[in-house]
Amino acid sequence: MSLYGMMRTGVSGMNAQANRLSTVADNIANSNTTGYKRASTEFSSLVIPTVSGNYTSGGVTTTIRNAISQQGDLKYTTSGSDLAINGSGFFVVQSTGGGAPVLTRAGSFVPDAQGRLVNAAGFQLMGYSYDNGDPSVVANGLGGLVPVTISQTDLVAIASSKGVFTANLPANADIVAAADLPSANGTTATYSAKSSLVTYDSLGGEQLLDVYYTKTGDNTWEVAIYKQSDASPNTSFPYGGDGLIGTQTLTFDPSNGKLATTPLSVTATIPGPPSQSIDIDLSKMTQLDKSYTIVDAKVDGAAPAGIKGVQIAADGIVYAQYENGALKPIFRIPIADVPSPDLMQVQSGNVFVPTGDSGAVQLGFPNEGGRGKIVAGALENSNVDIAQELTDMIESQRSYTANSKVFQTGSDLMDILVNLKR
């Protein structure tokens, strides 16, 4: 073993411990950083081949690893725009100044002046918009993603498109002749039960619908729907204007009083412009020996109102919550994943960039394909253990000191060798 090799090995050991102390310092400094992933230093030996029985010392090299796949504890907050992922996966974010999308677990999002959800590092949350209907995941890249934006100033009207009506129809109701049915829209009509529903058109205007239930035979009922505004003054029938806008026949099973055949819904079509179709679910209707009883009646849609706030569901759907209490889906947040998360490149702002070693990004919605679910009103703490970091710091300090002694001993021996001739 040469004295020079001994000194070189000591320097290698000091440099390796310095790298370890650097990761410890970073971990301690970011122990309270949302979504931070602990860095660690892995050591590998460097062996130099020996010849003629003389040992030649090598050294040590280091590799920095980040525990990106290790989840931190969840901390619950009072902000509905704070997001965490419980399970695997990452949010897709982009710098507000532009650039390529990157991945993060730091979900401390708040709306900025433009209504974009931006986290503490200045990255905006990306998602799929509902502007063109229900979004689907782009299978081969990050295309189609737009900033999740919550506008607080727009007035929005939500047109009705679907509803639910559940009631019991009396089994002992009288059978009505065909000529007297509400669907005939005669001067007078006979019906077994009547209810009205509030719906909304595309401008947010109220449209009241009159819904008639009439027994036409044993276990058979007719559903007839008219616009209340088309009713004759001081009465109902005959309805003018658009006339009958929806009808359906319901058949019940006499053994249990439940619907026996499909279809289990009725569609009310209101002529335009623009025309409007409202599908009303009747699948829970019953025919029992009891009076006409409404169990549930609701229709979506809302009058014009401003956005009061947002609600973010576990499946990633971002709902705009309006002042009148209505909810409307406006974005859906995808979850990104890679085959080997720990091999992604770490960049400033708690963001990660996929590499060739980590594999390509694969998008999906929360709770699908092994991805985690989104937790609103929560943040993910860093996965740093302060006690472990302090222990590692003491170990590195001792090892650094020991390696410095090796170098110092080699230096002293080199002085002796140099001075042998004197």
Same domain, 276 and 312: no
Lowest mean pLDDT among 52-61, 212-221, 267-276, 308-317: 52-61
Lowest mean pLDDT among 4-13, 68-77, 227-236, 279-288: 4-13
Residues 143-177 have pLDDT tens digits of 889 999 987 666 778 889 999 999 999 999 999 99
Per-residue pLDDT, 412: 80
| Average pLDDT of span 96-111 | 91
Same domain, 106 and 134: yes
Q: Which helix (H) or strand (E) holds 135?
A: none
| Confidence class for position 1, pLDDT limits 50, 70, 90 | low
Global confidence as pTM: 0.71
| Average pLDDT of span 251-264 | 89
Residue 111 structural domain: 74-156+306-380
Same domain, 356 and 387: no
Residues 280-313 have pLDDT tens digits of 999 999 999 999 999 999 999 888 888 887 889 9
Same domain, 252 and 274: yes
| Confidence class for position 188, pLDDT limits 50, 70, 90 | confident
Q: Which of 181, 253, 262 is closest to 220 using CA atoms?
A: 253
How crowded is residue 208: how many other Cβ atoms within 10 Å of its Cβ? 13
Per-residue pLDDT, 422: 63
Same domain, 296 and 346: no
Identity of the residue numbered 56: T
Same domain, 234 and 172: yes
Q: Tally the domains of the chain.
A: 3
Contact 406, 12 (CB under 8 A): no
Same domain, 248 and 359: no
Same domain, 103 and 16: no
Same domain, 222 and 165: yes
CA–CA gap between residue 267 and residue 97 (Å, rounded): 47
Per-residue pLDDT, 38: 94
61 conformational bin, left if phi > 0, alpha if psi -120 to 50, beta if neither: beta
